[in-house]
Structure formats: structure tokens, C-alpha cells
Amino acid sequence: MNGIIVSNHGGRQVDGSISTIDALPSIAETVQNKIPILLDSGIRSGADIFKVLGLGAKAVCIGRPYVYGLAVAGEQGVREVLQNMLADFELTMGSPGCKMFPKSTVKILQADLLIK
């Protein structure tokens, strides 16, 4: 196995299903950086990206936002969505004073505070 994608694609149809951000910390703890974890589902902002990286994901999958950009303005719309998400991520990182996203950032972030 080369990696794990944490997703609840279609899970919104099942009452009481666990969210991806709720599942991520225990998956990351189990995997212990042996393989990369990507998180899909619910990524809408740079703050969302910051949270899931802090909870153990190595990357995020962006579903709906890029499709919305594509529908509105084609390729340029996709570029703008990605640029806006990156800018929001950088602003979010700047709030607690992060210049980079070091592994030690996980210690700064508390899962129970992030997902409430």
C-alpha cells in the first residue's frame, strides 16, 4: 500500500456517519507516518487545510471548490480557486506565527479544539 485517502464520499447519505476530520487523528496515530495520508471531503478553505495537516494528513484532495471554479470561469476559475485557497492557507499559518508547516506543529494543535 502506497498511501491512504480518508474520505466519506457518499457518507452524507448515512445518518450518524463519522466525518473525515473526526477519523483522521486515530488513523494518523495508527499509521505513524509509515505511509502518507490524504484527506478528502469538506476541504473548503486554507483553514481546513491547516487543520488536517496538523492532525496528520500529508495532503488534501480538493473536490467541489475546483469544480465550482471550473463551472464559473473554466481553467482560469480553477486557478483562482487554488490561488485563493493557498493564500488563505498562508494567512491561517501566519496567525499562530508559522512560517512553514513543521512536524512539530502537530504538538501546537489540539485535535479536540480543531474539530469542534
Calpha distance 65→14 (Å, rounded) = 23
Those residues whose C-beta lies under 8 Å from the C-beta of residue 14, and which sit 6 or more positions away, are none
Q: Which of 2, 5, 6, 9 is catalytic?
A: 9
9 in active site: yes
The CA-based angle 109-115-37, given to 5 degrees, is 70
- H or E segment at 89? helix 64-94
Distance from C-alpha of 39 to C-alpha of 58, rounded to nearest angstrom: 8
- The residues assigned a catalytic role are 9
